[in-house]
Amino acid sequence: MAVLDRIFAPDSLFSRRFFFLARRFVAGETIDSAIAAVRELNAAGMTATLDFLGEDVLEREAAVKTRDTYFRMIDAIARADVRCNVSVKLTAMGMLVDEDFAFENLTAILDYAQQHNPDPFVRIDMEGSAVTEATLRIFERAYQTRKNVGPVLQAYLRRTPQDVERAIALGARVRICKGAYNEPPEIAYKDMAQIRKQYLDCAKALLTRGNYPGIATHDRRLIGAIKTFTRDNGIAAEKFEFQMLYGIRPSVQKQLVAEGYRLRIYVPFGTHWAGYFYRRVAERKENALFALSGMFSR
């Protein structure tokens, strides 16, 4: 992966010029291209959540521009009449500038979605562990008065079972995923068997006691375990949804829909795609091979 680290580093000249490599995982750079991707997903029986790529904003003006982009996204979703909601990163809302400022931007999006989008729900993406506590603090503050919001929790973090219990007590909708950021071992499990076990434990808690959880994974082993658990415990398919990332394991996506499960696809778009794409390439060997094959097949 050292070669890929250099080639796809988010600030490299290569990554800025070679967007074609990311096209499998990123639905273009404009709202229109993202909406077109959502239309295709809807036609295939899937819903979507739309994410405008960007994070670690350090200027108020940039955060306000991102907030306003979400207003335009919500308008576009409503005009297109597609089955889609939105997800946001709080560092893109200015959380690193000031938490109150990020809270104001988030609640403005929540209110706008409530007024204009047929699906008013807004997902708060989870970022690196350095901002986990602040992210959950802002989420809980917003949730006190607005219920159309829910967090992502990352199963590889050692703290996550406690965060799951807190979300269940609140009645909040949770998206549970493995986690994609490179974290130190004192914060996150590194062994895949441990990660899978904690993921499954958290998912079972959410499925039995939570509020319409999003079971986000591409891991066939975990998907099979969730299917077995829900079947054995009489948990109906409409009580939860599987969630997957745009462009990853499309055959599994189609199979889930064919089997009658609900499936939502996370659809990222925008010009700040390099960091997201880099994490996808670093996650799995087959993603890296796909990216490299794109270099030589253009």
Full 3-state SS string of 215-282? EECCCHHHHHHHHHHHHHCCCCHHHCEEEEECCCCHHHHHHHHHCCCCEEEEEEECCCCHHHHHHHHH
Of 67, 123, 173, 175, which residue is the catalytic one? 175
For residue 101, report the phi and psi dihedrals to the nearest 5 degrees. Answer: -65, -45
Question: Residue 170 has what DSSP assignment?
Answer: H
Given 3-state DSSP classes, what are the helix, strand and coil percentages for the chain, each rounded to the nearest 5? 55, 15, 35
Catalytic residue among 51, 119, 125, 163: 125
Kindly provide the b/e burial profile for residues 140-152, where b requires at least 16 CB atoms within 10 angstroms of the residue's own CB. Answer: eebbeebbbbbbb
Q: Quick check: is 175 catalytic?
A: yes
Distance CA 37, CA 211 (A): 28
The structure tokens 């189609």 sit at 254
Contact at 8 Å (CB) between 206 and 234? no
Q: Would the CA dihedral through 186, 190, 192, 195 be positive or negative? A: positive
Helix (H) or strand (E) holding 51: strand 47-52
CA distances from 208 to 67, 155, 166, 212 (A): 35, 17, 15, 10
* Torsions phi, psi for 175 (to 5 deg): -105, 120
Most distant CA atoms of the chain, gap in Å: 52
CA–CA gap between residue 141 and residue 164 (Å, rounded):
17
Catalytic residue list: 125, 175
